[in-house]
């Protein structure tokens, strides 16, 4: 990596970030910082803009103890400031598409009538997916939001750890997702790194540009 590129702030932030293993238990996100993070995630792109997911933001200590047990006892679940659970829709209903179209009409001061073409396209496409395809498609969208969270957190100098190491069924039970047509796909813990976390000092391991990119 040439130094000029490395010194650009955003790239520097991405070097600074790492999947935090040990959080400083004493440091919590301020309301303002949490708000900035959540707003960054809310603005994530999604296919058609549908955002077929919800995100649980968990501060409560008792809930996090339970989640930790269902996440191979990983300490980030309790030692971070907040846990974010990304949960995609298990099944996408016609009413979900209608709610989205209503939102567009409201936000852009237009009518559902004018959105008829879009409505047909969305319903014909998404409702023709099998339930499994809908679930996978929904889960993919949550990973875009996760990526956004990681980059935004880095730029605000907030630490985060993305995590797939947890039991989805158990999380579903603890958070009452089953009753809500939701299924957890991925989680992230956010807060501030502990000085003792040795992982922060390790070099980043990434493919070289020539391994990663084919430039045609
Ligand atoms: C989808 C996803 C799931 C991950 N799951 C875990 C996890 O359960 N526990 C953990 O400590 N790290 C987890 N990681 C962190 C990765 O191991 C880490 O991002 C990777 O080794 C690259 O290191 P870096 O992010 O520190 O640059 C996960 C990362 C991603 C993107």
Name the residue with the closest Cα to ligand 1, atom 27.
18
pLDDT band at 203 (very low <50, low <70, confident <90, very high): very high
Name the residue with the closest Cα to ligand 1, atom 24.
18
Res. 4: pLDDT tops 70: no
Res. 5: pLDDT tops 80: no
Res. 2: pLDDT tops 80: no
Under DSSP, the state recorded for 161 is E
pLDDT band at 83 (very low <50, low <70, confident <90, very high): very high
Over range 95-121, report the average pLDDT: 98
What's the whole-number average pLDDT of the chain? Answer: 96
| Helix ranges, the chain (H) | 3-7, 9-16, 31-42, 61-69, 76-79, 94-107, 116-126, 131-155, 168-175, 209-212
Q: What pLDDT, on the 0 to 100 scale, is given for residue 7?
A: 57
Residues 6+ apart with CB under 8 A from 179: none
Per cent of the chain over pLDDT 90 is: 96
Helix (H, G, I), strand (E, B) or coil at 203: coil
Give the atom of ligand 1 at the shortest distance from the alpha carbon of 165.
Answer: 8
Burial of 216 (0-12, 13-18, 19+ CB in 10 A): exposed
Alpha-carbon span 171 to 182, nearest angstrom:
11
Res. 101: pLDDT tops 70: yes
Name the residue with the closest Cα to ligand 1, atom 9.
163
User: In degrees, to the nearest 5, what angle opens at C-alpha 175 toward C-alphas 83 and 154?
Assistant: 15
Find out whether the beta carbon of 86 lies less than 6 Å from any atom of ligand 1.
Answer: no
Q: What pLDDT, on the 0 to 100 scale, is given for residue 8?
A: 76
Pocket test of ligand 1: the residue of 12, 19, 200 to mutate, having most ligand atoms within 8 Å of its CB, is: 19
pLDDT tens by residue, 10-31: 999 999 999 999 999 999 999 9
How far is CA 170 from each of CA 20, 53, 104, 146, 165, rounded to the nearest angstrom? 23, 18, 35, 21, 12
User: In degrees, to the nearest 5, what angle opens at C-alpha 135 toward C-alphas 133 and 139?
Assistant: 115
DSSP-assigned letters across all residues of 49-75: G---EEEEEE--HHHHHHHHHTTTT-T
* Tokens describing residue 135: 């679930």
pTM of the model: 0.96
The number of angstroms, rounded, from the C-alpha of 121 to the middle of its chain's C-alpha atoms is: 27
The H or E element containing residue 29 is none
């Amino acid at each position: 990596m040439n130094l000029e590129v490395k010194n650009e702030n955003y790239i520097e932030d991405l070097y600074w970030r790492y999947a935090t293993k040990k959080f400083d238990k004493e440091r919590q996100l301020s309301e303002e910082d949490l708000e900035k993070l959540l707003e960054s995630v809310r603005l994530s792109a999604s296919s058609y803009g549908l955002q077929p997911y919800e995100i649980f933001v968990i501060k409560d200590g008792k809930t996090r103890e339970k989640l930790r047990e269902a996440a191979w006892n990983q300490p980030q679940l309790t030692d971070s400031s907040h846990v974010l659970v990304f949960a995609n829709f298990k099944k996408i209903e016609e009413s979900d598409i209608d709610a989205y179209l209503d939102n567009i009409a409201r936000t852009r001061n237009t009518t559902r009538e004018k959105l008829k073409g879009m409505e047909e396209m969305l319903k014909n496409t998404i409702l023709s997916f099998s339930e499994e395809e809908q679930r996978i498609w929904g889960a993919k969208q949550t990973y875009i939001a996760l990526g956004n969270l990681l980059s935004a957190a880095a730029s605000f100098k907030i630490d985060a750890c993305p995590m797939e190491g947890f039991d989805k069924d158990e999380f579903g039970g603890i958070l009452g997702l089953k009753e809500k047509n939701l299924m957890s796909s991925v989680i992230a813990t956010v807060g501030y790194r502990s000085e003792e976390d040795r992982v922060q000092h390790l070099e980043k391991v990434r493919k070289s540009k020539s391994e990663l990119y084919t430039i045609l």
